[in-house]
Amino acid sequence: MNLLSKHAFAGWRNRPALINSLSFLLGLCLVFAYAPFSVWPLTFIILCLWFYIIADSPLKQATQAGFSFGLGWFGAGISWVYVSIDKFGGLPVVVSLLLMLLLFSYLALYPALTCYLSAKLSRNNRLQLWLLPSMWLFTEYLRSVVLTGFPWLSIGYSQIDSPLSAFAPIIGETGVTLIILCFVVCINQLIKGNAVKWHLFSIASLLLTTIIVHKLHWLTPTHKILKTALIQGNIAQDMKWAPEHEWPTMKAYLDLTRVNYDADLIIWPESAIPRLEPLAQEFIDLADRAALVNNTSIITGVQSYHFNTKEYFNSLVVLGKQAANDTESHYSMYNQDRYYKHHLLPIGEFVPFQQWLRPIAPLFNLPMSSFSRGNYIQPNLVANGVHILPLICFEIAFPEQLRANFSNSTQLLLTVSNDGWFGDSHGPHQHLEIAQMRALEFGRPLLRDTNNGVTAVVDAQGQIINQLPQFKQAVLRTNVALVTGRTPFSRYGHWPSTILASLLLVAYFIRHRRVQTKADVEI
């Protein structure tokens, strides 16, 4: 293989255009590792190839290759964003495409920074593979917090069905990402013939650890079964906020619910009630009384408004029974058994610099795009005696927010969404894949209710046990087995993976110093 690399690939180091083109192509192909394609081995194949062609690249070339890879990675992976911009943005096609290119280019800066740092911190300003895993985790952290964060398509999500998923309850999706990167680096070092015994030992240790981890159990069944009914209204997005469709929409949810009152818990999706809460009191009171009389609870999305502060919130409220033995309603517009969305989506739920952007195009003036932010930590919802940790839409991509609100009493995870903005694209499937990872990390069943799909129920091991087809008005009935116990990730979050990445970085510099000292002595 060394002979092959010396001859067949020797020209790569002097052909940056070829490296950039291959990097872009490999980044494009990475989309097939994620849902709905879910070919998880592709992650290893693509990264192995990419690491091989960029290893030892000089600083500038490495940075360009990182940007090219990121442009392909996000260009294909989040191309579904174009559906909403094209259909609801009200912009010319050329402008829409330029906005997409701007978004892809921004996200591509993070893998470019990964490669830049991996070369800049090396002894000779050439990209060193063993610096990549630590730098990758650092830049992925930046991607999750800068400009409110967009941690979509992290590579650990592609492993929800792979053997490495067993590590998620211990070190989370971020830790799975670190393992993938280290494995790929070891493979590349073996191909190059570097420290063969050490890298073979590392791979063997990882495989053995994976087998051991699969035998660990963090959860205990409670033998309590919860009967759930998730309502998928399938209301067309362009009709949802039209005044003439308000009552037909609400009636549709009530009709679908009426034949499912035997469920312990009934879920309506994000913004299921297309009126501000103060204006929908008659309907909400009707649904609240009906749930109480039928010995059940309804959790619904609604847009709340506070008269005293003049603030709007994207919220979830509990109707009907709160405690298991309730005989009276606890609902009011200001009751505590509700959740206000914290992590708002830029443009969709709040518009930065709105005084300048809103007049430009409908894209910056979408319905319900002036929300206020709820508190980062809020009490779990209590519905029919079940303690539920809720997240709305995009928030499911932020595990630290979930961990901050997770407690020993949490029995169920809930995420509601309206992916009608993205049509028949791979976006909703990726969204569900992220939700699966959260269920696995925290060891709790998860309900995901959406307006038009993908509505699904996920067990505490992150596996889908039931789901509805998209674009169909239907009800998903599922018996959910509740569990107790805490996963290590629910307790310690990203600290273990951060420590591992830091130790890896320290080990690299210690080894580099020893090599440098030995070279100086020989001179």
- In this predicted model, what pLDDT tens digit does every residue of 242-286 receive, in sequence order? 888 899 999 999 999 999 999 999 999 999 999 999 999 999 999
Query: CATH class for domain 221-488?
Result: alpha beta
Choose the catalytic residue: 341, 395, 433, 441: 341
- 480: Cα within 13 Å, side-chain hemisphere: 34
> What is the signed CA dihedral for 159, 164, 170, 172, rounded to 10 degrees?
-20
Active site residue 393: yes
pLDDT value of residue 85: 79
pLDDT in tens, the chain (523 residues): 454 444 544 555 668 899 999 999 999 999 999 999 999 999 999 999 999 999 999 999 999 999 999 999 999 999 998 887 777 666 788 888 898 999 999 999 999 999 999 999 998 899 999 999 999 999 999 999 998 899 999 999 999 999 999 999 999 999 999 999 999 999 999 998 888 899 999 999 999 999 999 999 999 999 999 999 999 999 887 777 788 889 999 999 999 999 999 999 999 999 999 999 999 999 999 999 999 999 999 999 999 998 888 889 999 999 999 988 888 888 988 888 999 999 888 766 655 545 444 444 454 455 555 788 999 999 999 999 999 999 999 999 999 999 999 999 999 999 999 887 788 889 999 999 999 999 999 999 999 999 998 999 999 999 999 999 999 999 999 999 999 999 999 999 999 999 999 999 999 888 776 655 554 444 4
Q: How many residues are recorded in the chain?
A: 523
Q: Choose, from 29, 349, 393, 433, the residue flagged as catalytic.
A: 393
Intervals of CATH 3.60.110.10 along the chain: 221-488
Q: Is 29 a catalytic site residue?
A: no
> Which member of 270, 349, 433, 441 is catalytic?
270
User: How many Cβ atoms from other residues are within 10 Å of residue 81's Cβ?
Assistant: 20
Residue 358: predicted pLDDT: 43
Question: How far, in Å, CA of 474 to CA of 255, rounded?
Answer: 11
Q: Encoding tokens for residue 147?
A: 């400009």
Query: What is the structure's pLDDT at 3?
Result: 45
User: pLDDT value at position 519?
Assistant: 47
Q: Residue 493 corresponds to which tokens in the numbers above? A: 């979050």
**Inter-residue contact 420 to 342 (CB < 8 Å):** no
A 10 A CB-CB count for 509 gives: 12
Q: How far out from the chain centre does Cα 207 lie?
A: 27
Cβ proximity of 102 and 140 under 8 Å: no
- Residue in 495, 492, 405, 421 with CA at minimum distance from that of residue 453: 421
- CA-to-CA dists, residue 73 to 51, 100, 101, 154, angstroms: 15, 13, 12, 10
- The amino acid sitting at 130 is W
CA 302 to CA 320: how far, in whole Å? 15
Which pLDDT score is estimated for 4?
A: 46
pTM of the model: 0.92
Asked whether the beta carbons of 340 and 314 are under 8 A apart, the reply is yes
Residue 468 gets which letter from DSSP? P
- At residue 349, the pLDDT reads 67
Q: pLDDT (tens digit, 9 = 90+) per residue, 157-201?
A: 999 999 999 999 999 999 999 999 999 999 999 998 888 899 999
Write down the pLDDT at residue 212.
95
| Rounded-to-integer distance, Cα 225 and Cα 478, Å | 10
Is 186 part of the annotated catalytic residue set?
A: no
